[in-house]
A and B are shown apart, each in its own frame.
Chain A
């Protein structure tokens, strides 16, 4: 009951969690996207969508602080990431978790060591407690009992789930997913979507997902930004369901209907 109340409050007064202001992304002189302006609210499941090669993953790299913007700002709450001091940046980084496309587990470490890495670094827990916590996180993603396995010994889908366990290790406020359903079978992809919804509802995590899977976009997204490769900028931001109904932009309609409406 309490949760519902909280959600409704969130809906009526959306609080910006990440704000992107006038962002231009470029590799050297080559501009990928310019004039990006949008806001990710607390508790959103925010979708970054667009065709292949439009700069979705690059935008993600900007949001998680791996690549400095050519121009503009990425603000977490009130703090502009690239203008913050190193200590503040480190503090911000501790509040986010990232699931990379391939899981990005460190191949020389077992699953348990991978998940334990951020926990051991940022907490003062005893090693027994860490072990229990790691087991809990792995069981949340359906990998109980796989603690001692190396990433190369498990399947791609399992690596991805283990990557998620590591991303969730410190109960981050914001979780980033890069193409979560790429390389997963439809059932696993759906289970992952459900897990994302569950995390948002139970832990009130803000979720940012890079994807072009229409099924996922409509199943979980409640806010989005649409990037276009030709225009090199965003064409729209907002609830994908609303974009489908209301958007006049032919490119967005074409994308959201799998090209059926030209």
Chain B
């Protein structure tokens, strides 16, 4: 198809040993593709190299950018092989556009390609980038701590109404999704343990497993992961968009600290709401477990309730609550940090939101592991 077109569109005639005429014919349309310059150049080179190439467009019936693109390629290749390209035979419009396209020389800097870097420098660069990222995070943490101290002194400047809105946003509005996930997690825990316990005829211990599992571990963790996906991403997107819109700059020039004004209320809201959500998730998880439990033979609601009450201690609840407060802090930090680091484009906002969720979840799991190990070491 392309070849046929090429034959129709281009015709090379030798007039003398060093002179050739390239006739451009037919209707050039971008949908037919752009012919390659290779065949023309090859023919020009043999049997004897042409010195001059005349262009003729007498039989050209229509053209668009495809012709222009072909001609610019031809022009640069002719220049490279020191063949003079005579464009007098082209319509005025094409000649003017061709002149326009070659008027400004290619800028070297903008053409700079990614060089292939050897492995060692690449590892080094990545390490330096990691360290800078860690330093940036530490700096942000420092700022946040300073802001918190100012809050304790009553000197932090932010809008109280923002805090209430945020409390609502990351508290009450998260209840439906937390209910659903926690009930399901409770049910899953119950099913998994029921299969094992049935072998010993000890189904009633499902209540213990679900109760302890939810309060110590899963309640805090599931609530935190939901909030990382829900609120952490929202924080990053909000702050990122505010960066793009110069709102953060505006806040700074009005003399407010963006950390106090934007980050502090968000951290406060999450740290306050997360333990409450955790308690709620614990309850819902136990309910989920109970739904499975009471459907097993020989277990009633009352038995399940009593068993749970005996199994779950205040220590378990306390550990869960402590974890959730830590998780709340981590989710808020990762969300706000990524939002404040956001670049000035729409895609940067998307990256900030994604990165906030990833950072948040990684931090949650790592912190959970550390706290669990510590609890084991001190024996609670």
Contacts and interface: CB of A to CB of B under 8 A. Distances in A.
Contact of A117 (B242, B245, B246, B254): B254
Interface string B243-254: 001110111111
B157 interface: yes
A105 B255 CA distance: 15
A90 B250 contact: no
Contacts of B253: 64-66, 93, 96, 98
A68 interface: no
B250 A100 contact: yes
Interface in A93-144: 93-94, 96, 98, 100-102, 104-108, 117-118, 121-122
A182 B256 CA distance: 27
Interface string B85-123: 000000000000000000000000000000000000000
Q: How large is the interface on B (under 10, 10 to 19, 20 to 34, 35 or more residues)?
A: 10 to 19
Given A106-B242, A107-B242, A100 B249 contact: yes
B254 A66 contact: no
Q: How large is the interface on A (under 10, 10 to 19, 20 to 34, 35 or more residues)?
A: 20 to 34
A104 B246 contact: yes
Per DSSP, are chain B's interface residues mostly helix, strand or loop, or mixed? Answer: helix
A136 B162 CA distance: 25
B157 A106 contact: no
Contacts, number: 50
A98 B256 contact: no
Nearest to B252: A66
A98 B255 CA distance: 11
Contacts of B247: 104-107
B235 to A, nearest CB: 13
Contacts of A96: 253
Contact of A107 (B245, B249, B252, B256): B245
Interface string A159-200: 000010010000000000000000000000000000000000
Contact of A100 (B157, B165, B246, B255): B246
A65 B255 CA distance: 10
A121 B257 CA distance: 12
A10 to B, nearest CB: 26
Contacts of B246: 100-102, 104
Interface in B38-58: none
A143 to B, nearest CB: 17
Contact of B255 (A66, A90, A102, A163): A90
27 contacts: A65-B253, A66-B253, A90-B255, A93-B254, A93-B255, A94-B255, A98-B249, A98-B250, A98-B253, A102-B246, A104-B245, A104-B246, A105-B247, A106-B250, A107-B241, A107-B242, A107-B245, A107-B247, A108-B162, A108-B165, A117-B254, A118-B255, A121-B254, A121-B255, A163-B250, A166-B250, A166-B254
Interface of A: 61, 64-66, 90, 93-94, 96, 98, 100-102, 104-108, 117-118, 121-122, 163, 166
Given A93-B253, A106-B250, A107-B245, 20 more contacts: A61-B249, A65-B253, A66-B249, A66-B253, A93-B254, A93-B255, A98-B249, A98-B253, A101-B246, A102-B246, A104-B249, A105-B247, A106-B242, A106-B251, A107-B242, A108-B162, A108-B165, A118-B255, A121-B157, A166-B250
